[in-house]
Structure 1
């Protein structure tokens, strides 16, 4: 195996420079990834780069990974896929076939993870990723892909349960979703959830990813009288949706989004207009989530913000947990043999800052989603596995009555 020392001069097919690098020696265990550091998804991609670096740094500060009685350090090699899924696939191929990294961390977004996991399966190199939740990723009987996000098909599960208990409960629901792998999986699962809950779906519409004009869909919501609006999409789409909803004075009793609400940037971008919006998260920075490297999730969140200047959300927490899962599995396997580490990952059961890390047979973790709402500019957890946590602000008032 060639030396794993990393050079800044290596370009991938003349297109992408290796960024976000932890220098490696020949003895280090190298984790490789392709992440959206520029382009349309860079705002979320940074969570993964930062979380990977932070977790590697913390594990190395504690001595590294114990392998055969020796402490071995972790190292990173991360490429910028420029938010281009085809480039991402080429970069993962580069990581395993030329860079000879030991293991793979994932990109952000389900369509990327869906494509990139084919590389880990082809080369039988384990990939642990916390950026893709689409059920499609885990329905192919692949053995080398593992995910720390809950199934997309159940993202709105807790939200639908909450809807039934609201007073007055909404009688009609609009379901909107982008046409990518994650959002299609969300919609497929949500239809059944709504039907089982006895809620009437008056609108079920797919829109193009990266859409910027929602006026037509909002006009339909206004005309059909949907009282609850559930939107599965990307953060930039949701920002446009909210701004245009205000412009057209479309104010149902509530709206909920798969992304955005947990993000500090989302709330800053909308200001007071973010209030009343619902979202969901599988992670909150609770001291109840104990972690042997960071102490607990609250300590992780404080240290993360101090280091990077912004609050982590569940993307960052899942990314850090992915690195921790590799560290634990390598120790359990007693080395870096890919097949043995793969089997060790499948058997993991340990507490982390993200929650319990224990993968189901299909390779995915199913942590319950907590419903959150922006109230007076702050994120408040309102509904969880055990019911109401804090009272939601409901129904949402008209825009001119706020």
Structure 2
């Protein structure tokens, strides 16, 4: 018995020695985020969770990220903030102080990014986020927050430019916006654009976020016989707005929304009632957008749809670009040291599936918005940097004339 035990112990020791002599595996680089997976913002929040995971998996399939002479894999740690901004701040604090993640990805929505970026700044851990566009996020001279959405103040820039070239020319505009950071920034930037274009702002109204009743505002629009309605809000608000516009037979010549139109779910929810709606997008799945990991944006969109069974819009594309930007910055820095990665992010200039990633001094990129419109069963790119692309369906007919 004793000889058997000795032989067994010797065998185990030999195995242990053999195992310890194997090459050490480099630890995963952990990217942390708090995202809206439940609650009122979850329908858009899932784009970020899915895009983050999809891109991490793609990079890992290609061998991971080269850090100096090591090849290291990426890993994700994601919490559900339940669409609660205070919970999101606590979760980001836990990610950096207790979980010790290496780098940060962002949440959805400007009010979340505005609050959560204070955590990344305090702990000096870089955060790249594609969910918050409010100018307020980038006006504080923070050094550790970067964003891949264009400035909210110029979301309607291409739309206003298009308005000046329509026939018959619209003259009056209703500007409606929710009372959160993103939508206030949109409104603040849109007013001077409208004034410069010679358009009259007939109605300028701020409403409470998550509002469900737009009857009063729609009655004002109908009474004023406004030509154009521009709405900055959340997807559920826009759905309610369109449904109630139909109920009250309010049909201006054109209406455009900051969110919703690019989303497959939005168009499915409204069905034929989504027809004629204008929106904007900083990204379309073009094969011309070449990408190191996916090949191009069209291949990314095809593979994404196959995996998640819904079409990616600019939210998903910007989320994927966030992961790619962190991976590229790590390789450029040759380390995961937060301060060095931060400097590498600030110096980035590379082509991604989302477009050119090169951050301005304030940490934000500025991709031009393409005006899009629901035209029957398709989403048409109508107006861009070079003018009209496809003919817009304009003016919008009365609801009973469709």
TM-score, length of structure 2 as denominator length: 0.94
1:247 maps to: 247
Which structure carries more helix by proportion? 2
Any conservation in 2 of the 1:202–1:224 contact (CA below 8 Å)? yes
Any conservation in 2 of the 1:67–1:334 contact (CA below 8 Å)? yes
Mapping of residues 249-268 of structure 1, within 5 Å: 249-268=249-268
The DSSP-based 3-state class of the residue aligned with 1:50 is helix
For the pair 1:200 / 2:200, whether they are aligned, the reply is yes
Larger Rg: 2
Any conservation in 1 of the 2:33–2:78 contact (CA below 8 Å)? yes
> CA–CA distance in 2 between the matches of 1:214 and 1:363?
36
The DSSP-based 3-state class of the residue aligned with 2:362 is coil
1:31 maps to: 31
2:237 maps to: 237
> CA–CA distance in 1 between the matches of 2:374 and 2:279?
8
2:10 maps to: none
2:347 maps to: 347
For the pair 1:374 / 2:356, whether they are aligned, the reply is no
> CA–CA distance in 1 between the matches of 2:188 and 2:394?
27
2:11 maps to: none
2:13 maps to: none
> CA–CA distance in 2 between the matches of 1:320 and 1:305?
14
Any conservation in 1 of the 2:286–2:297 contact (CA below 8 Å)? yes
1:144 maps to: 144
1:5 maps to: none
> CA–CA distance in 2 between the matches of 1:310 and 1:260?
14
Kindly provide the CA deviation profile for residues 330-366 of structure 1, in whole angstroms up to 9, marking residues without a partner as x.
Answer: 0000001111000000000000000000000000000
Any conservation in 2 of the 1:271–1:377 contact (CA below 8 Å)? no
2:328 maps to: 328
> CA–CA distance in 2 between the matches of 1:225 and 1:143?
47
2:181 maps to: 181
Shift of 1:91: 0.1
Tell me the number of residue pairs that the alignment of Structure 1 and Structure 2 aligns: 378
Any conservation in 1 of the 2:26–2:70 contact (CA below 8 Å)? no
Runs of 4+ in 1 over 6 A off after TM superposition: none
Any conservation in 2 of the 1:267–1:377 contact (CA below 8 Å)? no
Shift of 1:26: 7.0
Kindly provide the CA deviation profile for residues 241-277 of structure 1, in whole angstroms up to 9, marking residues without a partner as x.
Answer: 0000000000000000000000000000000000000
Kindly provide the CA deviation profile for residues 98-132 of structure 1, in whole angstroms up to 9, marking residues without a partner as x.
Answer: 00000000000000000000000000000000000
Mapping of residues 127-166 of structure 1, within 5 Å: 127-166=127-166
Any conservation in 1 of the 2:26–2:72 contact (CA below 8 Å)? no
1:286 maps to: 286
Alignment root-mean-square deviation, CA: 0.6
Shift of 1:377: 2.5
Q: Which runs of 5+ in 1 are unaligned?
A: 1-24
Any conservation in 2 of the 1:274–1:377 contact (CA below 8 Å)? no
Shift of 1:92: 0.1
> CA–CA distance in 1 between the matches of 2:268 and 2:192?
34
> CA–CA distance in 2 between the matches of 1:69 and 1:290?
27
1:171 maps to: 171
> CA–CA distance in 2 between the matches of 1:100 and 1:192?
45
> CA–CA distance in 2 between the matches of 1:161 and 1:108?
28
The DSSP-based 3-state class of the residue aligned with 1:165 is coil
> CA–CA distance in 1 between the matches of 2:79 and 2:169?
47
For the pair 1:118 / 2:129, whether they are aligned, the reply is no
> CA–CA distance in 1 between the matches of 2:56 and 2:269?
31
> CA–CA distance in 1 between the matches of 2:219 and 2:377?
27
> CA–CA distance in 2 between the matches of 1:278 and 1:392?
9
Q: Which runs of 5+ in 2 are unaligned?
A: 1-24
1:76 maps to: 76
Any conservation in 1 of the 2:279–2:372 contact (CA below 8 Å)? yes
Any conservation in 2 of the 1:120–1:126 contact (CA below 8 Å)? yes
Shift of 1:70: 1.2
> CA–CA distance in 2 between the matches of 1:195 and 1:124?
41
For the pair 1:101 / 2:101, whether they are aligned, the reply is yes
2:361 maps to: 361
> CA–CA distance in 2 between the matches of 1:278 and 1:82?
30
Any conservation in 1 of the 2:128–2:146 contact (CA below 8 Å)? yes
> CA–CA distance in 2 between the matches of 1:401 and 1:364?
44
> CA–CA distance in 2 between the matches of 1:92 and 1:76?
13
Distance verdict in 2 for CA 1:324–1:379, change over 3 Å: same
1:45 maps to: 45
